[in-house]
Amino acid sequence: DTEVTQTPKHLVMGMTNKKSLKCEQHMGHRAMYWYKQKAKKPPELMFVYSYEKLSINESVPSRFSPECPNSSLLNLHLHALQPEDSALYLCASSQDDRGQGGYTFGSGTRLTVV
């Protein structure tokens, strides 16, 4: 298995909803990442988990809450989002947080906040 799987692929949510994005990999990678990508812009790093511990939080608002239940899973809990949070949310993983072997990206969750 050489993939990063993200679910759901599409999500529409209201500003008062609570939802979660899920990411899974079975490559034995010990670092996992959340990125946010707006149209025609590069991905922007949100969070880094290394060995299941949060190592980087790029000043992301608290309405985004990451969780790493185990080395294969990464969640992003969403609450009280704003329309400007609509974007493609990408999960990525690498062998370790030094990026050994490159970063493998999931296909993303396209989020629309209404």
Footprint on this chain of another protein (rule: CB under 8 A): 33, 40-45, 48, 55-56, 88, 90, 97-99, 102-108, 110
Question: How does 91-101 read in b/e, with b if 16+ C-beta sit within 10 Å?
Answer: bbbbbebeeee
Select 83 or 98, whichever has its Cβ closest to another protein.
Answer: 98
Least Å distance, CB 89 to another protein, is: 11
**Cβ atoms of residues 52 and 74 within 8 Å:** no
Least Å distance, CB 25 to another protein, is: 13
Select 18 or 100, whichever has its Cβ closest to another protein.
Answer: 100
Q: What is the DSSP string of 9-50?
A: SEEEE-TT-EEEEEEEE-S---EEEEEEE-TTS--EEEEEEE
Least Å distance, CB 79 to another protein, is: 25
Select 22 or 110, whichever has its Cβ closest to another protein.
Answer: 110
Select 54 or 114, whichever has its Cβ closest to another protein.
Answer: 54
User: How far is the C-alpha of 8 from the C-alpha of 87, rounded, in Å?
Assistant: 14
